[in-house]
Amino acid sequence: MDSILEMRGITKTFPGVKALDNVNLSVREGEIHALIGENGAGKSTLMKVLSGVYPHGTYEGEIRFRGQPVAFRGIADSEKLGIIIIHQELALVPLLSITENLFLGNEQAKRGRIDWVAATARARELLRMVGLTDSPETLITDIGVGKQQLVEIAKALSKEVKLLILDEPTASLNESDSDALLALLLRFKEQGISSILISHKLNEIAKVADRVTILRDGTTVETLDCHDAPISQDRIIKGMVGRDLADRYPRRTSNPGNILFEVKGWSADHPIHAGRRVVKDIDLHVRRGEVVGIAGLMGAGRTEFAMSLFGRSYGRNIRGQAFLDGREIDVSTIAKAMGNGLAYATEDRKHYGLVLDNDIRHNVTLANLNGVAKRGVIHHEREIEVANDFRRRLRIRCSDVFQQTVNLSGGNQQKVVLSKWLFADPKVLILDEPTRGIDVGAKYEIYTIVNQLVAEGRGVILISSELPELLGVADRIYVMNEGALVAEMPAAEASQEKIMHAIMSSASKATAARAAVAAAALNNGALESLQ
């Protein structure tokens, strides 16, 4: 079979670090090639070399595209040959329309004057190819992340794409949207477009990939062919981390005590659309030493519930009671909620969790500055000790605690966020998607930390979109849908099918359709287009 892309002996050195060391990657004509590895393994660097972000001459090695050696001086060069990369953080302008975004930098213009009729017609055609039925005049901000991802792909199609590179395209998508996206990749494959798929989600790779290349610490570990023999997830994990993960979830003997924290009749409205109830009459409790999971589709209202509970940081017209050890507590401001033993670690660590320009030390103590200060004066040495202590306990990989958090990998950033909340010493910790976008090894470490927390008698509320994670970590699972809790089950009796069933049977038509797609995908791997 012909290779569309050959990368041979790629070595890329940054001052002091060898990011890539003699890496080889070969992608065949019309295949979906998965590229996986832990955070920091060199996937993104390799793709930056390929797309010309690191121009020819700044790396060693050879790149051949469709048999010809190439030397890109910038992204424009690689795009001209049809190599299009779609980054994890989407490059769309929120307040421009779909059409305007599709042709940004590539306007359908004659002598500088844009032909809007032609542009709209072409936009509609492109949208049809990715299965989007929205009007091309819709603003990007008015469509969900899943659809935005599809717009990015449509944009790639407008550039005559030959090789499509997707960097964790499904990281912020729910299961049904992810499945739609993967289905699209399979359709492209039939049309002869090759793809490189970077993903942490091993089940997705198993579904669509023809071959898998595993990177570890900047070197190629191996390339596996998925058609020779079905590849087990354990096999891939072993390649990524260089060791067997006998169990992806650390064991712990769960021994929940009496009820620690309880919420009764909690409701909240949308902050802008007055009267639209987003969180509906939630009753929930957490026992001492218990991990309680909240499952649900994206948009089920889980984050909204958690944030409205944590000092009313979301929504308006918030009603309900919260109890700690049977006594009602005031959670009306963030300071009061924290004072009463609550903590909330956000799902969006870059925007809501960390002060990225600040170092690890300052981020760790931010939520409990008084813990390192006397009468408002900070004891700097004590602060450094605290930061170093968390660095050791949570195994934060960094050069020292004076490193800016913006330079840390996702997993280590997450550990800094956790450190911050652990130092605030909460009784109940709400973790919102704590392992999103981080690699298998770091996930395992996060689970270990969760286990330590409950072993100390704290309660943990775990919000997660990854059902296996909930099943593996939680003691008890609530299922949330359309703002309300619709089921509760001990993790021992729960299964992915049962949770999906709970969502479907409770749901209105629209959600049921989405849930059905997800459930179908779950049962037999069949891929249905969401649209």
Partner 1 sequence: MSAELNLPAAPPRQASMAKFLKSHMRDYGMLISLLAIVAFFQYMTNGTLLQPLNLTNLVLQNSYIVIMALGMLLVIVAGHIDLSVGSIVGFIGALAAILMVQFHWHFIPTAIVSLAAGAAIGAAQGYWVAYFRIPSFIVTLAGMLVFRGLSLALLAGQSVGPFPVEFQRLSSGFIPDIFGTEGFHTTTMVLCLATPAILIAFSVAARMRRHRFAIEQEPLVLFVLKSAGLFAVVAYVGWLLSTYKGLPNVLIIMALLIGLYAFVTRDTTIGRRIYALGGNEKAAKLSGIDTRRLSFYTFVNMGVLAALAGLIFAARLNTATPKAGVSFELDVIAACFIGGASASGGVGRVTGAVIGAFIMGVMNNGMSIVGIGIDWQQVIKGLVLLAAVCFDVYNKGKA
Given the rule CB under 8 A, which residues bind partner 1?
A: 241, 245-247, 250, 310-311, 313, 333-335, 338, 344, 346, 351-358, 362, 366-367, 369-370, 373, 376-378, 380-381, 384-385, 391-392, 395, 397, 399-400, 402, 420, 424, 441, 444-445, 448
Among 164, 143, 460, 175, which Cα is nearest to 289's?
460
Given the complex with partner 1, which of 38 and 269 has the nearer CB atom? 38
Least distance to partner 1 from the beta carbon of 416, Å? 11
Four-residue CA torsion sign, 311, 315, 321, 323: negative
Name residues whose C-beta falls within 8 Å of residue 191's C-beta, 6 or more positions apart in sequence: none
Output 26 or 219, the one with its CB closest to partner 1.
219
Pick 143 or 384: Cβ nearer partner 1: 384
Q: Which residues contact 324 (CB under 8 A, 6 or more apart)?
A: 260, 261, 340, 341, 427, 428
CB of 404 to partner 1, least distance (A): 9
Q: Which residue matches tokens 């500088």?
A: 112
Helix (H, G, I), strand (E, B) or coil at 221: strand
- For residue 128, report the phi and psi dihedrals to the nearest 5 degrees: -60, -40
How near is the Cβ of 104 to partner 1 at its closest, in Å?
Answer: 24
| Min CB(348)–partner 1 separation in Å | 9
Nearer to partner 1, 12 or 288 (CB): 12
Question: CA 19, CA 144: separation in Å to the nearest integer?
Answer: 35
Work out how close the CB of 436 gets to partner 1 at its nearest, in angstroms, rounded to a whole number.
17
Reading the block at residue 526, the tokens are: 């069949």
CB of 148 to partner 1, least distance (A): 21
Quick one: 130 or 438, whose CB is closer to partner 1?
438
- Residue 51's H or E segment, with its range, is helix 43-51
Token duo for residue 363: 């981020």
Task: Tell me whether residue 301 or residue 411 sits nearer to partner 1 (CB atom).
Answer: 411
**Which C-beta is closer to partner 1: that of 12 or that of 362?**
362
The minimum distance between CB 396 and partner 1, in angstroms, equals: 9
Query: How far, in Å, CA of 528 to CA of 205, rounded?
Result: 17
33 vs 391, beta carbon nearer partner 1: 391
Nearer to partner 1, 385 or 528 (CB): 385
Min CB(445)–partner 1 separation in Å: 6
Name the minimum Å distance from CB 354 to partner 1.
Answer: 6
d(CA 5, CA 163): 9
DSSP letters of 127-195?
Answer: HHHTT--S-TTSBGGGS-HHHHHHHHHHHHHHT--SEEEEESTTTT--HHHHHHHHHHHHHHHHTT-EE
Q: How far is the CB of 217 from partner 1 (least distance, A)?
A: 12
502 and 318 in contact (C-beta within 8 Å)? no
What radius of gyration, in Å, describes the C-alpha atoms of the chain? 24
Give how far Cα 395 sits from Cα of 359, 367, 418, 476, Å. Answer: 16, 20, 12, 28
Nearest to partner 1 of 312, 498 (CB atom)? 312
Which CA distances in Å does 165 have to 78, 259, 528?
12, 49, 22
